[in-house]
Amino acid sequence: MSCLTDERLRIVDADESYGAALGYARDALIGRDVLEFTHPDDRDVNRERAAALVADGTPFSITKRYIGADGRHVWVTNHVSLFHAGPMRRMLATVELIDGPPLADEKRVLRGAAQRILAKRRLRTRFFEDEMFGEPAFDLMLDLFAQELAGRDTYTTSAAVASGAPLTTALRQIAMLVERGLIARDPDPTDRRRVRLRMTDPGAVQMRDYLLAAENL
């Protein structure tokens, strides 16, 4: 598959298979910004790489997600080069479909998904009473998972804050998650008075699978 854009990333031409992969007729794509069909988390890096290509002419490859006409995510690796068409410069992307995020990108994708879901859940408190829709255990797991992907430790007190529940409620939720084998408690090696929380392997696998499934909705 291939797609041709101008320097501003507006689609100049595309083959039929490119349009079919996104769920659009080819003519419906012409003149539109390619970033319009790119996942919000991938737009900045796509924009930066394209600007660098225009500046120095060095081809690049980028793995990203397109958003199809039906809202599904289409993982691709684009191999992009610059060429001259008379007085104009064009960017040609050869598009390779791939099955899900590569390992190099998976942590970034999962962390972004967890943070987005948690932010939307916390947004509810601006409009509804906490008691109506509170799910402190799940909020706690989302935050713990995102913190681990970022390489940060989480302790009982900070986990309780992330849950959005009173401390006594949060402690009960932590105990329940430990009992179910989704998270574990470890003593802090530098301060025995503190307890560090971590995802267990089964808990991390379940959260990973959930977030990847949610990203494909």
Does 127 share its domain with 209? yes
37, 45, 144 from 139: Cα distances, Å: 30, 29, 9
Q: What CATH number corresponds to the domain at position 114?
A: 1.10.10.10
Q: What percent of the chain has pLDDT over 90?
A: 65
How large is the C-alpha radius of gyration of the chain?
A: 22
Query: Other C-beta atoms within 10 Å of 7: how many?
Result: 14
Name the domain boundary from 97, 130, 160. 97
Does 90 share its domain with 139? no
- pLDDT at residue 3 tops 90: yes
Highest mean pLDDT among 81-85, 182-186, 211-215: 182-186
Dihedral sign, Cα of residue 6, residue 94, residue 1, residue 217: negative
Does 108 share its domain with 64? no
Tell me if residue 92 falls in helix, strand or coil: strand
- Parallel, antiparallel, or unpaired: how do β-strands 2-5 and 88-97 relate? antiparallel
Name the domain boundary from 45, 77, 97. 97
165: Cα separation from own chain's centroid: 26
Q: How many domains does the chain have?
A: 2
Does 155 share its domain with 208? yes
Report pLDDT digits (tens) over 104-131: 678 888 998 899 999 988 888 788 876 6
Check residue 131 and give its pLDDT.
62
Does 22 share its domain with 64? yes
The string of DSSP codes covering 156-180 is: HHHHHHHHTS-HHHHHHHHHHHHHT
What pTM was estimated for this model as a whole? 0.62
Dist. CA 200–CA 12, nearest whole Å = 49
Check residue 195 and give its pLDDT.
92
Report pLDDT digits (tens) over 34-88: 999 999 989 999 999 999 999 999 999 999 999 999 988 899 999 999 988 778 8
Q: Domain of 50?
A: 2-97
Does 199 share its domain with 130? yes
Name the domain boundary from 55, 75, 97. 97
Does 179 share its domain with 120? yes
Dist. CA 9–CA 31, nearest whole Å = 9
Report pLDDT digits (tens) over 128-152: 876 667 789 999 999 999 999 999 9
Does 108 share its domain with 188? yes
